[in-house]
Structure 1
């Protein structure tokens, strides 16, 4: 057994202390805080130090990683004592076990391979079963029936969030991951009611398979793949498979467009970085508004007036994704053609110039907007009676057109020194969503 696996196993054992939460409540913070103090000021040598020490710990002469993990767990445990809306014990346990046993799974994989995809798979394979078992143990301890769909859902969501954060941050920033996973899972659990187990399993299987395919085809890197899977699961559970159909249409068509004639784009100096693989920032910039719309759809059932929310939210979702796909296709196709013009002055500029457009790119963008508009009208609750489906699709299309025009104008005027590309994309998709909502409220 390597030292890395022994260390990961020791951290997993520490995480098991969270199982005392159903009995101890907020007092669970005490053993974790004691571990944090001991790691920070008491243990500086000997077998225990060598077991938990990471490379940087040896240089500092203290167990920084273990101290951070202990203090973060203690802080999260204190939320178990909130007077009116305490953190559920099962979420606390799931957050700790996902990280502890997920790290162990990652290290087990790394004894055989350094492939980043397999390392993430090892993390999920280790974290999800541990979180499921931990939540089940908590439920049994308080003498309640186990809601398997909720247990599985929280384990999967927690593992995906943790894996994504570890990919984006320094892998050993466990305090940030522990707190983020616990708080994010708590928020999602508040939105999600009972999820049928078959539907949940189907959501996980479909999104994981499609995420793996996107990584295999090179249309997404590891962080982009994890973000896409997380968005997919949330969209299916909070919205439904109709909403997911629109989202996956954007991901699939947009991803393939980024790989279309990539060598020629690279030769012209207009290709996306990383061989066209999309990362987390790109995914969120284009689909962040859609994610907020899905969350709003779930939250709308809990607030009044629900009727306004039920009308506005699907149009915000559809309008933002119509903009995202339209912009992606217009950029990825348009950059292949010469003699583009700047949208603000119509002067000739070099291919790849921010805010430059070609008629071929604009046509491709219109096609993308049309695909999302038609699919949205068919699968989303844009027109409950069905009599105004054509008008609903037209509203989404107009929102998409305004959105991609906004993207080009911002690119020509503000992108570069003032705004980054991702912020421009986010602004454009927000514009497309807002315009679609405004037209829907006015015309429907």
Structure 2
């Protein structure tokens, strides 16, 4: 969950998360930007333009600092390049931008709901918005998930082989990012006094690992919304019904990550071993690994011995 407290001794973890995410995201954008500029320039300029505008809007809305806006713009470009669809001229409508926008709008709205109450509790979002490390912690896994597509950008066979897995992983990661923030923000306003996930003991609002029923349901709804929009963007409304199992699995990954986030908060974060950025990064990673593990288990059971 979103915790506002002094974690200055663990700032190195935030820097580590940013170092893990930022260089590979930039490399991904450069590789794919160059390839699309050569193959179909309209894709390159459309993607870079939309990503820049998105970053500027985030900064102007004070949803993030300048560094956060730049990081978010790079991640947006990476997701858009890796999920480009035919026809090229409208590919931005049918890729990673739509679930990313859904995640942003859901989380931005959630942070504004009951802002006065959150300020009294001392848990409101910073007036400058999130910083670059926080953006990397929440969206970095989605960017890393599509990195294989960037590496294989010049090989059509390899590119298509990575696209399906990478897109699914990115949707699951975005579903978790939405679920985590929405759950925390809504829970503080409507959930009443939270309970610690490990003991169900009542704790003060803002306590690491504290959850509420209202917040959890809001998080589940946010994960499902992002998953549906993600698969709608990737496959279109006519085929949406064919992907209901994948939608539920991606949303389920987001919910698993949400609960794993609270578990880490109640244990390792409370002990001072992890800071909030590290918890967010690991929980988003778990949202990808959980459905992947289920898929691998099902395939192993189905394969002939």
- Tell me the TM-score range normalised by the shorter chain: 0.7 to 0.9
Q: In the aligned structure 2, how far is the partner of 1:199 from the partner of 1:393?
A: 27
Quote the residue 1:218 is aligned against: 62
Quote the residue 1:135 is aligned against: none
Post-superposition CA distance 1:306-344 (Å, at most 9, x none): 776344222211111111100010011112242210010
Quote the residue 1:294 is aligned against: 146
1:434 aligned onto 2:285: no
- Report the RMSD for the aligned CA atoms in angstroms: 3.0
Q: Is the 8 A contact 2:232 2:240 kept in 1?
A: no
Structure 2 counterpart SS, 1:245: helix
Q: Flag the 1:187–1:351 CA change in 2: closer, same or farther, 3 A.
A: closer
From 275, 280, 284, the equivalent of 1:420 is 275
1:278 aligned onto 2:133: no
Q: Flag the 1:201–1:360 CA change in 2: closer, same or farther, 3 A.
A: same
Scaled by the length of structure 2, the TM-score of the pair is 0.77
Q: In the aligned structure 2, how far is the partner of 1:251 from the partner of 1:307?
A: 27
Post-superposition CA distance 1:120-172 (Å, at most 9, x none): xxxxxxxxxxxxxxxxxxxxxxxxxxxxxxxxxxxxxxxxxxxxxxxx9xxxx
In structure 1, list runs of 5 or more residues that go unmatched. Answer: 1-167, 169-179
Q: In the aligned structure 2, how far is the partner of 1:229 from the partner of 1:316?
A: 19
From 260, 264, 287, the equivalent of 2:117 is 264
Q: In the aligned structure 1, how far is the partner of 2:78 from the partner of 2:160?
A: 22
Q: Flag the 1:345–1:216 CA change in 2: closer, same or farther, 3 A.
A: same
Q: In the aligned structure 1, how far is the partner of 2:240 from the partner of 2:104?
A: 27
Q: Flag the 1:441–1:380 CA change in 2: closer, same or farther, 3 A.
A: farther
1:194 aligned onto 2:31: no
From 81, 84, 87, the equivalent of 1:237 is 81
Q: Flag the 1:269–1:194 CA change in 2: closer, same or farther, 3 A.
A: closer
Structure 2 counterpart SS, 1:348: coil
From 317, 327, 330, the equivalent of 2:180 is 327
Structure number with greater Rg is 1
Q: Flag the 1:357–1:299 CA change in 2: closer, same or farther, 3 A.
A: same
Q: Flag the 1:217–1:280 CA change in 2: closer, same or farther, 3 A.
A: same
Post-superposition CA distance 1:164-218 (Å, at most 9, x none): xxxx9xxxxxxxxxxx99x987665445523322222222332222222222222
Q: In the aligned structure 1, how far is the partner of 2:246 from the partner of 2:25?
A: 34
Quote the residue 2:206 is aligned against: 352
Q: Flag the 1:440–1:299 CA change in 2: closer, same or farther, 3 A.
A: farther
Q: In the aligned structure 1, how far is the partner of 2:186 from the partner of 2:131?
A: 20
- In the TM superposition, 1:121-200 aligns within 5 A as 188-191=29-32, 192-195=34-37, 196-200=40-44
Count of paired positions: 264
1:364 aligned onto 2:206: no
Q: In the aligned structure 1, how far is the partner of 2:48 from the partner of 2:264?
A: 37
In structure 2, list runs of 5 or more residues that go unmatched. Answer: 1-14, 16-21, 85-91, 300-305
